[in-house]
Amino acid sequence: MYTKKIYFSGGDFHELQEVFCNLPGVTDTRTGYINALGAADFDSVADGSLRAYMGVEVVFNPKKMDLSKLMDVFFAVVNPYVPDGQGRARGEMYRAGVFYADAEDEPQVELHVNFIASRGKPPAGNCLGLTMNDPNSDPRLTRQCFCLAQPIESFQSAEPQHQHYFESHARDDTCIDFARLKACLKF
């Protein structure tokens, strides 16, 4: 079976793995450290002593799940307009990012991230439906997209206790409402 890989970062990598592991066409997921500048482990990345992004490797069958759908799911659970993480996970290591393994995926990833970046703020309206002002005309008022779109340089698998974390910690609080997400996803 032909498979491809894509890497996502943004917030808690346990939650990201749970988001992608049960999607149709996804054959495997692993949590780990993206583009680490040395031998990475959870403590060195979490305390910032080693620069890397906490993320998830998604292995998928492109005949059953395409890259754009995976990115749609990613942007449904991650806010790309936040510079330093998601929910309670804060810091550079939790920054949103899409890291591609194949050069052929670069145009699609760049297009998707540029679309997200150019969305800006919607115009403000009043109760009559009239546009009061258009924040898109003032660059100081538009949202800035902090999501990275880069080639993967390295991926180091996280320790075993960080793989499929929610299988043994189902009662832990999460920032993602998984029941609602599953109800909204229709493939």
pLDDT at 180: 74
What confidence tens digit (pLDDT) does each residue in 5-14 have?
999 999 899 9
Kindly state the tokens that stand for 68.
């754009």
- 147 compared with 167, residue with greater pLDDT: 147
> Would you list the domain boundaries of the chain?
4-184
- Superfamily in which the 4-184 domain is placed by CATH: Peptide methionine sulphoxide reductase MsrA (3.30.1060.10)
Q: Let me know the angle formed at the C-alpha of 114 by 149 and 175, rounded to the nearest 5 degrees.
A: 65
**Residue 133: in which H helix or E strand, if any?**
strand 131-133
Rounded-to-integer distance, Cα 150 and Cα 84, Å: 17
pLDDT at 176: 73
Residue with the two structure tokens 């500048």: 37
Rounded-to-integer distance, Cα 174 and Cα 187, Å: 24
Residue with the two structure tokens 């890497």: 7
The pTM is what? 0.85
